[in-house]
Amino acid sequence: MAKKLKITLVRSLIGRPESQRQTARALGLTKLHSSVIHEDTPDIRGKVTKLTHLLDVEEIDA
């Protein structure tokens, strides 16, 4: 089974650099406490790594 990641924005994007805001938008996160589910790929992992201080990430089986 493919692994998936449940990514939740837990800290605000206010005052963050524009590159971090764009990365959050690219993940589909717009509002605080919003969640998205993505496939566990190197591309998504890189985006998550850039925003580790703002996100909560859970691995789920799909």
pLDDT for 2: 81
Q: What is the pLDDT at residue 1?
A: 65
The per-residue b/e assignment along 36-54, b for 16 or more CB within 10 angstroms, e otherwise, is eebeeeeebeebbeebeeb
Helices (H), 1-62: 18-27, 42-50
pLDDT at position 50 is 97
- Sign of the CA dihedral 23, 27, 30, 35? negative
pLDDT tens digit string along 4-37? 999 999 999 999 999 999 999 999 999 999 999 9
